[in-house]
Amino acid sequence: MRVICLDIGEKRIGVAVSDPLDLTAQGLETIWCKGFERDAVRVMELCRQYDTDRVLCGLPLNMNGTEGFQASHARAFAQKLASLGLNVRFQDERMTTKLARDVLLQADVRRAKRKDVIDKLAATYILQSFLDAGGWREESPKIYLKGVWTMSENMNQDLDMERENIVELVDEDGNEVRFEHLMTLEHEGGVYICLAPVEPMEDVEEDELVIMRIEEDENGNDVYATIEDEAELDAVFEKYLEIAEADEGDDADPEE
């Protein structure tokens, strides 16, 4: 399935699309922004035209990896697209606009013309980088568990000692479930824990990923709150993937 890529700005949205084999990126058009509602309608039209629900949004991070106004703007528009049923992911787009501008300057493209094509070219670079990194691979699904969980008082009893990083959580109904702790991470001031069920759970498929937000109750004890905001869940999941992929790269044999 093709991927539509968006370079989201305040005035313009550059659009690119992958070829049917998801190998190469091609510039498509520039959307001149007229508000989230009308801009989203045009993105939906393009998705129908190319028979896809996959939308890759460039995320304009600061050079130190933090998010500012532009990233918040991109996430807000992405949330609008997700609410319409599109499958949205993000790709770090640092330096892509500068790269596109440098290419156009070297090609001696007139200033007025550059405005029409620079965002489309930047979207092409974002998408090609995404495709080169493996493209739209199937990811571990995310589970929408409900409620607030607490740490089991029996956590150190009868656990599988052959496996490390096992935690036992108790839901609001008193049901105890064991998870493998995959990662704890920070995102936009919040702290999140990423888990995988140790044993089969009802309505939970194998290899599904659970993400909870760590909070404090009125007594100052840690509790684990499930996330109902899909945009928040997606953002944390993307950060989990970034960290996991970076860790895999660090573990690779430097001689390979």
Q: Set out the domains of the chain in order of their start, with CATH numbers.
A: 4-132 (3.30.420.140), 142-251 (no CATH)
Report the percentage of the chain scoring pLDDT > 90. 29
Higher local confidence (pLDDT), 184 or 107? 184
The pLDDT of residue 217: 79
Phi, psi for 39 (deg, rounded to 5): -65, -40
List beta partners, residue 40.
none
CB–CB of 141/234 below 8 Å? no
Higher local confidence (pLDDT), 173 or 124? 124
Return the top range by mean pLDDT from 48-62, 95-109, 210-224: 48-62
Cα–Cα dist 116/113, whole Å: 5
The pLDDT of residue 205: 64
Tokens 């896809």: give the residue.
52
On the question of pLDDT at 40 being above 70, the answer is yes
Which of 15-24, 197-206, 247-256 is least confident? Answer: 247-256
Pairing of the two strands 222-226 and 209-216: antiparallel
- Whole-number CA gyration radius for the chain: 21
Give the up-direction half-sphere exposure of residue 181: CA atoms within 13 A in the CB hemisphere: 13
Q: What is the mean pLDDT of residues 138-143?
A: 52
In the chain, the largest separation of any two C-alpha atoms, in whole Å, equals: 71
Tokens of 227: 């996330």
Report the percentage of the chain scoring pLDDT > 70. 74
Instruction: For 201-255, give the secondary structure using H, E and C.
Output: CCCCCCCCEEEEEEEECCCCCEEEEECCCHHHHHHHHHHHHHHHHHHHHHHCCCC
Cα–Cα distances (Å) from 214 to 34, 87, 172, in that order, read: 39, 27, 16
- What pTM does this model have? 0.53
Return the top range by mean pLDDT from 40-54, 84-98, 146-160: 40-54
Residue 88: pLDDT band with limits 50, 70, 90: very high
What angle, 0 to 180 degrees and rounded to 10, lies between the N-to-C axes of helices 96-106 and 111-132? 130
Cα–Cα dist 116/12, whole Å: 9
Phi, psi for 220 (deg, rounded to 5): 85, 10
CB–CB of 4/17 below 8 Å? yes
Cα–Cα dist 84/20, whole Å: 23
Mean pLDDT of the chain: 79
H/E stretch holding 131: helix 111-132
DSSP 32-89: EP--HHHHHHHHHHHHHHTT--EEEEEE---TTS---HHHHHHHHHHHHHHHTT-EEE
Span 153-210, pLDDT tens digits: 654 444 444 455 888 888 777 778 888 888 999 988 899 998 888 877 665 566 678 8
